[in-house]
Amino acid sequence: MKPFRFCPACGADLELADDEGGAHCPNCERKWYRNMSPTAGAAILRDGRALVTVRAIEPEKGRIDVPGGFLRTGEDPVAGLRREVREELGWDIEVDDRDYLQAVPHTYGSEDEWVLALGFVARAPQGDPTPADDVAEVRWVSESELDGLDFAWPHDRDLIRRALEHGRS
Ligand SMILES: [Zn+2]
């Protein structure tokens, strides 16, 4: 992850970041931190299987993913997860904050930005999803298929395994 070079408030050159990751502006005296961006994703279950998506866009185009995405500033993670799944699949999933399973820091994209991926287990609604343009394909997979799938981020395999073991399908 590249450090900030210029002050986002006044445009002055920043001093180098300190041990805590904060870069001080000698002009306006503010201090700027690079933090991880939170995402929320879900292992959506039905009848003992989980839904995975094939990514239609970069980064990691063509690889396996779970539904979800970046949270907005100040957004509740479960509300953000529901919003992302509605946008991606046209579905209102059943999920609440007791369905939280894991939090995994990882890098994302060509700039290696740091992301904190929050993982949940969720129940699918009735009917089939209607995927948006950023989804190439949806598949229902069982536990025995997980090792053979090309996950863009391996922690999503762990999330699905944990969700299926969790058994709240
Ligand atoms: Zn400044």
How do residues 99-133 score in pLDDT, each as one tens digit? Answer: 999 999 999 888 889 999 999 999 999 999 999 99
Nearest to 120, CA basis, from 65, 49, 74, 66: 66
Nearest to 17, CA basis, from 33, 37, 1, 35: 33
CA distance linking residue 50 with residue 149, whole number of Å = 13
The runs of H, that is alpha helices, within 53-100 are 77-89
Q: Where are the domains of the chain?
A: 1-34, 37-166
How much is the mean pLDDT over the chain?
A: 94
Distance 112 CA to ligand 1 centre (A): 25
Distance 111 CA to ligand 1 centre (A): 24
Distance 33 CA to ligand 1 centre (A): 13
CA distance linking residue 105 with residue 114, whole number of Å = 7
Distance 37 CA to ligand 1 centre (A): 23
Pairs from 85-89 (Cβ < 8 Å, separation ≥ 24)? 85/42, 85/44, 85/122, 87/132, 88/53, 88/131, 88/132, 88/134, 88/135, 89/51, 89/129, 89/130, 89/131, 89/132, 89/135, 89/138
Is residue 167 very low, low, confident or very high in pLDDT (cuts 50, 70, 90)? low
Distance 26 CA to ligand 1 centre (A): 7
Distance 92 CA to ligand 1 centre (A): 44
Would you say residue 169 has pLDDT above 50?
A: no
Would you say residue 1 has pLDDT above 70?
A: no
What percentage of the chain exceeds 70 in pLDDT?
98
63 near 54, Cβ under 8 Å?
yes
CA distance linking residue 20 with residue 33, whole number of Å = 8
Distance 24 CA to ligand 1 centre (A): 8
Would you say residue 13 has pLDDT above 70?
A: yes
DSSP 152-166: SSTHHHHHHHHHHHH
Distance 110 CA to ligand 1 centre (A): 28
Compare 109 and 37 and report the one with higher pLDDT.
37
How do residues 48-72 score in pLDDT, each as one tens digit? Answer: 999 999 999 999 999 999 999 999 9
Q: What pLDDT, on the 0 to 100 scale, is given for residue 42?
A: 98
Distance 27 CA to ligand 1 centre (A): 5
The pLDDT of 3-31, averaged and rounded, is: 91
Distance 16 CA to ligand 1 centre (A): 13
Pick the CATH number of 37-166 from 3.90.79.10, 3.40.50.1370, 3.40.50.2300, 3.20.20.100: 3.90.79.10
**44 beta partners:** 51, 122
CA distance linking residue 85 with residue 82, whole number of Å = 5
Distance 23 CA to ligand 1 centre (A): 10
Tokens of 7: 């002050």
Compare 111 and 15 and report the one with higher pLDDT.
15
